[in-house]
Amino acid sequence: MTELHQLPASIAAKKIQANELKSEDLIRSCIERIREREPITQAWVETNFDLAIQRAKYLDRSTNLGILHGIPFGAKDLFDTHDFPTRLGSAIYENNHPNSDATHIALMRQAGGVLLGKTVTTEFATFKGGKTTNPHNPEYTPGGSSSGSAAAVADDMIPLATGSQTAGSVIRPAAFCGVVGYKPTYGKVSLGGVKSLSPSLDTLGSFTRTVSDAALCVAAMSGDTQLATINKIKKKPRIATCLTYDGELASAETITAIHHAALLAEDIFKTKAPAIQLPTIFKDMSALQGRIMWSESARSFSFEQNNHSEQLSQQLKGLIKMGSAISYEQYSNDLIVAEKARATIDQLLTESWDILIAPSAIGEATKGLTQTGDPIFCRVWTLMGLPCITLPLYTGPNQLPVGVQLVAARGRDALLLSVADALMQA
C-alpha cells in the first residue's frame, strides 16, 4: 500500500482538488517520514513543521486551488526565504534572515505549495561535500551541490524539491540518488533572490520522482502553468545517443545505461537512435565552461573573500584564486566561442535531431561524503543553456542508481518532458 508521503505530487494535487485528500494529512505523513529518516539521510538544514501544518490547515479551508495547492516541497538553502534563514552552506551566513522570498519560492507558495524547510547545499553550491548521505547507501555521496533536495525526494520525505545547476548540480545528484532531475532552458526560472555563482550559467531546476511532477514543479517555479501538462507526442522524435568528447570517462554501467535507454527509445518511437559525436567546436567545451564558471565565481565571491576569507574552505579559496587568475581577454574570448557553439548546437537540434541521450554522470555515486562527484557530463549542456532531464533507468554494480540524461534544444522543454515521460512509463 502506498503511503501518503510516497504519492507523486501530481496525483496528490488532484486528490486535494477533488476533496479526496487533506493537505494536512499529506503534510503530517511527510513529517513522520522526515522524523524517521532524517537521522540517517541528513537532508535538511532547518524545518518548521508547526508552520507547515498551520499553512496546510489554511489551504484545506481555502477554495483558491493553485497547481501546487497543499503540496509540500523543500528549497535548497541557497534561495531566499522570508520565514527561514538562508545560510548558503557557509558559516558566514549563519544568521542571514532575508526579508522576502526568492522569486520562484514566492511563485510556488502562490501556487499553493507548502514549504517544509531548507535542504542542504554544499558551500555556496560548490564542490565541498556536506552532511547529507545517499538514501540508497549512507556510505556514498548523494552528489551536489543540491545534495539535500535530491536525497529528500529520493528518501520519500517530500515529492518536490528545488535546486540549482551551474555545472551539474541538479542532474548529477538526481542521478546518484535515483530521482528525476530537471534543469530547464537557461532563463526559464527567475534567479531573483538566489545567491549567484556564475550568472551566465546559473539555472534553477527540480527534483521529483516522476516526470509529471518535474513538469508541475517547474511550471510553478516559473509561473508558466502551461508547462504543467505533458503533451502527447504528435511527431516521431529524432533521437541519437551522444557521449560527448568526454565519453572515454564514462563507466561501463553508464555505457550500458545509455545503450538500454537507446533500445527503449527505439522500441517506443519505432525509430533508430544512432550514436553521434558533436561538432569539433565542442572538443574543449568542458574546460571552457570551467573557465567561465570560475572567472565569474571569483567576482561573485569577492565580498566573502575580502571580508570573511578565514571562513571559506581551502578548496573554495583555491577555486577563487584560480578564477581570479583568468584574464579578462581569456574570459571574453571564451564567451565568444560559447556563443558560436550555441548557434551550432541550435542548428544541430533543429535540423538533425530532437533529443540527445547522454550520460548524467561518470557512473554510480562515489563512496565517501567529502566529494560530490564530477560534473563533466553536464558541463557542455549547461554552458549551452539547453534543457536537460535525468531519468533513473538503470542500476549499477553496487546496486546504486545510474541516470540517463536527455537533452533538447533551447526552449523545447515541452518536447523534452514528453519524451522523458514516455521513457519513464515504458
Chain segment 142-183, per-residue pLDDT in tens: 999 999 999 999 999 999 999 999 999 999 999 999 999 999
Among residues 10, 23, 76, 183, the one annotated as catalytic is 76
Separation between Cα atoms, residue 359 and residue 234, nearest integer Å? 27
Answer whether residue 304 shows pLDDT above 80.
Answer: yes
**76 an active-site residue?**
yes
Grid cell listed for 168: 551539474
pLDDT at 318: 96
Residue 339 CB contacts under 8 Å (≥ 6 apart), including other chains:
none
CB atoms within 10 A of CB 144: 31
DSSP state of 92: G
**Rounded to 5 degrees, what are φ and ψ at 165?**
-135, 130
Provide the 3-class DSSP secondary structure of residue 171.
helix
Rounded to a whole number, what is the largest CA-CA distance in the chain?
A: 61
Separation between Cα atoms, residue 329 and residue 335, nearest integer Å? 10
In this structure, the dihedral spanned by the alpha carbons of residues 23, 25, 31 and 35, taken in order and rounded to 10 degrees, is -170
CA 122 to chain centre: 14
Together in a domain, 58 and 185? yes
In a domain, 309, yes or no: no
Together in a domain, 157 and 278? no
In a domain, 184, yes or no: yes
CB 394 within 8 A of CB 402: yes
**128 an active-site residue?**
no
Q: Which of 183, 203, 228 is the endpoint of a domain?
A: 228
Instruction: Please give the average per-residue pLDDT across 209-238, as a whole number.
Output: 97
Closest to 127 (Cα-Cα) out of 148, 143, 149: 143
CA 314-375-324 angle, to 5 degrees, is 45
**Rounded to 5 degrees, what are φ and ψ at 339?**
-70, -35
23 — pLDDT class (breaks 50, 70, 90): very high
Answer whether residue 140 shows pLDDT above 80.
Answer: yes
Among residues 10, 23, 29, 145, the one annotated as catalytic is 145
CB atoms within 10 A of CB 277: 13
Instruction: Please give the average per-residue pLDDT across 313-333, as a whole number.
Output: 97
**169 an active-site residue?**
yes
Separation between Cα atoms, residue 222 and residue 176, nearest integer Å? 26
Answer whether residue 397 shows pLDDT above 90.
Answer: yes
| Tally of domains within the chain | 2
- Which range of residues forms the domain containing residue 392? 239-283+328-425
Among residues 169, 196, 297, 418, the one annotated as catalytic is 169
Model confidence pLDDT, tens digit, residues 256-297: 999 999 999 999 999 999 999 999 999 999 999 999 999 999
pLDDT at 127: 87
At 210, the amino acid letter reads: T
pLDDT at 406: 99
Round the average pLDDT of the chain to a whole number and report it.
98
CB 175 within 8 A of CB 207: no
Together in a domain, 88 and 194? yes
pTM (predicted TM-score): 0.98
In a domain, 300, yes or no: no
65 — pLDDT class (breaks 50, 70, 90): confident
317 — pLDDT class (breaks 50, 70, 90): very high
**What is the total residue count of the chain?**
426
In a domain, 294, yes or no: no
pLDDT at 284: 97
pLDDT at 64: 85
Domain of 25, CATH number, reads 3.90.1300.10
Separation between Cα atoms, residue 298 and residue 371, nearest integer Å? 21
Together in a domain, 142 and 255? no
pLDDT at 72: 99
CB atoms within 10 A of CB 262: 19
pLDDT at 1: 77
